[in-house]
Amino acid sequence: MDNKLVVGIADMKMTRQDGMLITYALGSCIGVCLYDPTIRLAALVHIMLPLNMEAGRKSPMKYADTGISETLSQMEKQGGMRSRIVAKIAGGARMFDVGGSGSLGNIGQRNIESTHIVLRREGIRLLREDVGGSVARTLLFDAASGQACVRSYGKPELIF
């Protein structure tokens, strides 16, 4: 457990056979676990926003759309096959209940919807998810078993 690969914000890491991927404190952000079980290739992306509308597209991993498709093509370069890759996602919470109808309140929800749409468009099956609510999540993803684990404040660990 001590050699975890830490995935930062707007970041992606990949590992094969064994190893643990971890991303901390997902608020409205979403952690997307992508896994090819046959060759045990695991990738974890930490996205912040639903759609990439940046001109230069310097940081594709910040957005659900470009983050997921970029990760999938990198997985294919490592021998992953799209037809075998499955997904598990966690995050998309609403951290603060701000009055009014600002973007602040529903960015988590928009991230969830965008992630669903992108996965469907890429033909990736979504196995499990732990999304929404109002608590932050730390997401661990085990490459050997393909199991994901969510750690939150004041709640028991959730393995899925």
Active site residue 29: yes
Contact flag: residue 55 with another protein (CB under 8 A): no
Q: Tell me the closest approach of the beta carbon of residue 44 to another protein, in angstroms.
A: 15
φ/ψ bin of 141: left (φ > 0), alpha (ψ from -120 to 50), beta (otherwise): beta
The one catalytic residue among 14, 21, 29, 44: 29
Dig out the tokens for 14 from the structure.
């990949």
Minimal CA–CA distance to 134: which of 119, 153, 149?
153
Minimal CA–CA distance to 33: which of 5, 1, 3?
5
Q: How many residues does the chain have?
A: 160
Dig out the tokens for 23 from the structure.
């991303």
Q: Tell me the closest approach of the beta carbon of residue 48 to another protein, in angstroms.
A: 5
Contact flag: residue 27 with another protein (CB under 8 A): yes
Please select the residue that binds another protein; options are 18, 37, 54, 78, rule is CB under 8 A.
54
Please select the residue that binds another protein; options are 1, 55, 58, 101, rule is CB under 8 A.
58
Stretch that binds another protein, among 24-32, 67-75, 82-90, 112-120 (CB under 8 A): 24-32
The three-state secondary structure class of 107 is helix
Contact flag: residue 153 with another protein (CB under 8 A): yes
Q: Other CB atoms closer than 10 Å to residue 144's CB: what's the count?
A: 12
Dig out the tokens for 49 from the structure.
């926003």
Binding to another protein, residues 105-124 (CB under 8 A)? 107
| Residues of the shown chain interacting with another protein in the complex, contacts defined by CB under 8 A | 8-11, 24-29, 48-49, 53-54, 58-59, 62, 93, 95-100, 102-104, 107, 134-136, 138, 153-154
